[in-house]
Structure 1
Amino acid sequence: MSKVNLLGRRNFIKGLGAAGAVMAAPAMATSVSAKGVKWDETVEIAIIGSGFAGLAAGIEAARQGCKSVTIFEKMPVFGGNSAINGGLFAAPQTPMQKEQGVEDSVERMVNDQLKAGRGIADEALLRHVASHAMEALQMTIDAGAEFHPYLQQLGGHSVPRTYQTTVSCGAGITQPLLHECRKVGVNMVSRTKFNGFILDDAGKVVGVRLNKGYYFEDEDAGVEKEINVRATRGVIMATGGFAQNVDLRMAQDPTLTAEVGCTNAKGATGEGMFEMFRLGAIPVHMAHIQSGPWASPDEGGFGYVSNYSIFNFPHSIAVNRMTGKRFMNEIADRKTRADAELACRDAEGNPLPPIMITSYEHAKQHPNCKKVLKYGVGWKFDSLEDLAKHFDVPLKPLKEQVEEYNGYVKSGNDEQFGKNMGKAKGKYLKAPFTVVRLWPKVHYCQGGVQINTKAEVKDSFTGKRIEGLYAAGEVAGGMHGVSRLGSCSIPDCMVMGMTAARSIMGA
């Protein structure tokens, strides 16, 4: 998509074991008084974390007139977990929707998210993000991000509203934003670990303690130096979630052991969030940890199958291998599908990953299809007989299911699970078929510190904001409730990052 102005197993255990080497809980940081502190550096705004939220905050701060903003990243490369996400961006009332005759609105997007949030999502935050999603999308386009010339309808969304980068991952956004940050004068520093806040006598955050020369991979490898950075306007925490902190996630859900796969970058460990809690930030929705129902047990991390599945779910069927029948609405919200997949077990109660069946004719339209087949994390079959034999699926009910589903494609009405068949129109299941196995992986933490629509961190003791402290992205909790809809994290991160910058600059 060209630059436009939008505003006018391989083995089951091997697959799951990708998180087995994950680090335990990180060492706790500590905050100190500014009294007697020797400042090594002074900036107007210090941003901790270089994912979508941090990069958007940096760009917006510069645009709002900030003369000195630095983004500090603890890992050796910039982009954080954002760089390896699916590159999916939901926004309402976009030009592509209008071109394709899709009726959408801020209200409709918010209602879809509230439904997925099961009564505990923060409507004010959702509405704020949906209302400014186009601005954030425009920021990516202006920076040079490119998107496929089609919209996707992800699970839980009532209409197609999702853009995806042409490289089908978040790097298609983080790299252009990183380039834009440098272009507008944002200072970027990697291998710098957040150690804690520095507070004045009134408890206002006036700076941060950092370790320069930090090596996440081997803490003994670098020559670390602790520095004190003064932030005269404020600090923005954009440190992401804690999905790779096995101890913390197990404290919320004991089933999320190290044997459960994870799609996140290894640095998603939550120490920035911990320190905000120490200051008195309100913990919210910590137990709501989302698993991605599009993941595969046959590859590590996010892999190739995830984006392939997300694209193909609307015109595919998910089948329980014990029964040969569908067991869910393939585009329901993530929690509904993940729970349904986890219920797929063999006669002894062991996990039996279900399969997703797609016509190769339609599957090959996604660029990941070739890689899925090339690397053996997906299979191609010339007949249902071959497919059923390979996966030990009862053939007769499978054939009946495919015939029944094709009837739904023809009628436009899914009588089994109420799936929206708009994206399946004319896409019948027929040979040859491609198949992938499905099994959820820990993907997103709905929990974190509570913020308001100004991205200010709220104090659990006073109910007011913690002076000088702002948060954006996955480190902030409560927005999405029980289940976040796919493609809503990028607008969340970017809009709240931009909002934090505007709040600090008084815009």
Structure 2
Amino acid sequence: MSTNNLLGRRNFIKGIGAASIAIAAPAMAISEKTDGVEWDKEVEILIVGSGFAGLAAAIEATRQGAKDVHIFEKMSYYGGNSAINGGLFAAPQTPMQKKEGIKDSVDTMVQDQVNAGRGIADVALLDHIAKHAMEALQMTLDVGAEYHPYLQQLGGHSVARTYQTTVSCGAGITQPLLEECRKIGVHTHNRTKFEGFILGQNDEVIGVKMHDNYYFGEDQPGKTSNIRVKRGVIMATGGFAQNIDLRMSQDPTLTAEVGCTNAPGATGEGMYQMFRLGAVPVHLAHIQSGPWASPDEGGFGYVSNYSIYNFPHSIAINRLTGQRFMNEIADRKTRADAELNCRDAKGDALPPILITSYKDSKKHPNTKKVIKYNVGWKFDSIEDLAKHFEVPLTPLKQQIGEYNEYVKTQNDPQFGKNMTEAKGKFIEAPFTVVRLWPKVHYCQGGVQINTKAEVKDSLTGKSIKGLYAAGEVTGGIHGVSRLGSCSIPECMVMGMTAARSIMKA
């Protein structure tokens, strides 16, 4: 390939951290013009990534009439980070809300997310996602996903609107979606790594370069295939939370010592390649940590879903003071920041504890696993609990007494917690307890898209023809902080939207 064919003219991200991104970037192939390219294959629609967004896009494209849809996944397994997420799906005006008498609306869900986003979330995209969230939820039900028969009210949500898979993880959705893809004729390819775009004479995306027989984390020769695409490419490659260099370039505190809930493949190469084409980078520095994670286990683990379920009727205690230090169902950033401030007298990290009555916590299937694998504890008395965690007993007893009064009066003057889901659920023995400490979980930053899932060109202000993106690889939708259970509807709705846009183009 001659140097004349390199896409050096695209000097992206001028004045927005270009130097730090260039330093952080992993070794990559370079996209090229179509001149002299020998095509190995031609497909109708090509999707990079097999998580919620990619799988939903493939199903919707097929439903819209596409005959030759291909999903490419760089890892040996399908589902990506989606398969190991919490399996939590938020949507307004659902059948379960109607059954439980919960009043909700698209506008209410959007406003909750705008509040969490600290004023810089993309309202148009949030509105589009909320309006179509029920369609995405229905797709999961159509393919056989199963959910618990109750709704949860997660932090930052003003009402209960969150479904959770019966297996308490995203695989409860990705596996049925993958099975449906194969059933309807979608072609799936694993161990194939995206290496770059191939452009037409007018800089439109007309193909991709794929590294075949790829083994993650290993340098290997392998064969690179040039695949021509008739309709378009959908990038659904996920976030970059496992790319330590990149996340540190945006937030130097997110070192290798900070845990991460993401799958190993969440390294951001697809996002880099779109930047090289001229895609607009948005909110890369807004990287969210999960306040429900535990320092006592790796990855997402068992404690995360346990905590998410129990936060509404539990108390989070600073072990140094024996007192609450936050609203247990505030948005993720508020809680993560509060937890990081829990320090001992020397200033070292002192992970706080979440105390729940066992009679209430045991209703979640993870409770037995949390105790079995020694990442959580059960105590028969408050004295035993305080002694184990070296928490001052008198203020702890006082705090529990005060909190139980909040449960009775349905009013929390201490932190303003919405006590609806805590009604009748007092903190009393026996107790279950877990330790809390944030882990890097979600990247709010990525490439800018519109409500058609088209990728915007930073040079022309128009959409890059033939290129669409959906899911965590995109940025700016949630602003500073994303509400829990809003990523699955985002990924699926925007994946479905990308498919519809391609079929209309």
Q: Which of the five TM-score ranges fits, normalised by the shorter chain?
A: over 0.9
Equivalent in the alignment of 1:275: 273
Once the two structures are superposed, the pairs formed by residues 3-152 of structure 1 within 5 Å of their partners are 25-152=25-152
CA RMSD between the two structures: 0.8
Shift of 1:218: 3.1
Within 1, Cα distance between the matches of 2:169 and 2:404? 32
Q: Secondary structure at the match of 1:259?
A: coil
Deviations 1:403-439 (A, max 9, x none): 0000000000011000000000000010000000000
Once the two structures are superposed, the pairs formed by residues 337-416 of structure 1 within 5 Å of their partners are 337-416=335-414
Identity of aligned residues (%): 77
Within 2, Cα distance between the matches of 1:154 and 1:254? 29
Within 2, Cα distance between the matches of 1:331 and 1:362? 17
Once the two structures are superposed, the pairs formed by residues 257-296 of structure 1 within 5 Å of their partners are 257-296=255-294
Given that 1:25 and 1:246 are in contact with CA atoms closer than 8 Å, whether structure 2 keeps it comes out as no
Equivalent in the alignment of 1:432: 430
Query: Are 1:237 and 2:238 an aligned pair?
Result: no
Letter of the 1:182 partner, please give it.
R
Within 1, Cα distance between the matches of 2:417 and 2:235? 39
Within 2, Cα distance between the matches of 1:125 and 1:470? 15
Per the normalisation by structure 2, the TM-score is 0.95
Shift of 1:28: 2.2
Q: Secondary structure at the match of 2:488?
A: helix
Q: Secondary structure at the match of 1:126?
A: helix
Equivalent in the alignment of 2:198: 198
Within 2, Cα distance between the matches of 1:27 and 1:480? 29
Q: Secondary structure at the match of 2:119?
A: coil
**Correspondent of 1:336 among 334, 337, 343:** 334
Q: Secondary structure at the match of 2:232?
A: strand
Within 2, Cα distance between the matches of 1:463 and 1:217? 36
Shift of 1:337: 0.2
Deviations 1:5-56 (A, max 9, x none): xxxxxxxxxxxxxxxxxxx853223101111111111111100000000000
Within 2, Cα distance between the matches of 1:27 and 1:160? 44
Given that 1:25 and 1:269 are in contact with CA atoms closer than 8 Å, whether structure 2 keeps it comes out as no
Larger displacement relative to structure 2 (30-39 or 196-205) = 30-39
Within 1, Cα distance between the matches of 2:166 and 2:500? 30
Shift of 1:224: 1.5
Deviations 1:279-303 (A, max 9, x none): 0000000000000000000000000
Per the normalisation by structure 1, the TM-score is 0.94
Deviations 1:296-336 (A, max 9, x none): 00000000000000000000000000000000000000000
Shift of 1:217: 4.2
Within 1, Cα distance between the matches of 2:25 and 2:317? 37
**Correspondent of 2:451 among 437, 453, 468:** 453
Once the two structures are superposed, the pairs formed by residues 217-232 of structure 1 within 5 Å of their partners are 217-220=217-220, 224-232=222-230
Within 1, Cα distance between the matches of 2:34 and 2:231? 15
Shift of 1:216: 0.3
* Runs of 5+ unmatched residues, structure 2: 1-23
Within 1, Cα distance between the matches of 2:217 and 2:454? 32
Given that 1:286 and 1:448 are in contact with CA atoms closer than 8 Å, whether structure 2 keeps it comes out as yes
Letter of the 1:79 partner, please give it.
G
Within 2, Cα distance between the matches of 1:197 and 1:279? 8
Q: Secondary structure at the match of 1:318?
A: strand
Given that 2:59 and 2:181 are in contact with CA atoms closer than 8 Å, whether structure 1 keeps it comes out as yes
Q: Secondary structure at the match of 1:457?
A: strand
* Runs of 5+ unmatched residues, structure 1: 1-23
Q: Secondary structure at the match of 2:46?
A: strand
Given that 1:97 and 1:161 are in contact with CA atoms closer than 8 Å, whether structure 2 keeps it comes out as yes
Within 2, Cα distance between the matches of 1:42 and 1:151? 45
Letter of the 1:171 partner, please give it.
A
Within 2, Cα distance between the matches of 1:30 and 1:499? 28
Letter of the 2:370 partner, please give it.
V
Within 2, Cα distance between the matches of 1:380 and 1:489? 32
Deviations 1:374-410 (A, max 9, x none): 0000001011100000000000000000000000000
Given that 2:206 and 2:232 are in contact with CA atoms closer than 8 Å, whether structure 1 keeps it comes out as yes
Given that 1:29 and 1:271 are in contact with CA atoms closer than 8 Å, whether structure 2 keeps it comes out as no
Within 2, Cα distance between the matches of 1:29 and 1:129? 34
Letter of the 1:329 partner, please give it.
N
Equivalent in the alignment of 1:183: 183
Within 1, Cα distance between the matches of 2:106 and 2:29? 39
Q: Secondary structure at the match of 1:309?
A: helix
Letter of the 1:159 partner, please give it.
V
Once the two structures are superposed, the pairs formed by residues 294-305 of structure 1 within 5 Å of their partners are 294-305=292-303
Letter of the 1:281 partner, please give it.
A
Q: Secondary structure at the match of 1:294?
A: coil
Once the two structures are superposed, the pairs formed by residues 300-339 of structure 1 within 5 Å of their partners are 300-339=298-337
Q: Secondary structure at the match of 2:259?
A: coil
Within 2, Cα distance between the matches of 1:152 and 1:48? 32
Given that 2:376 and 2:432 are in contact with CA atoms closer than 8 Å, whether structure 1 keeps it comes out as yes
Deviations 1:219-278 (A, max 9, x none): 34xx62100011110000000000000000000000000000000000000000000000
Within 1, Cα distance between the matches of 2:27 and 2:68? 30
Letter of the 2:223 partner, please give it.
K
Equivalent in the alignment of 1:466: 464
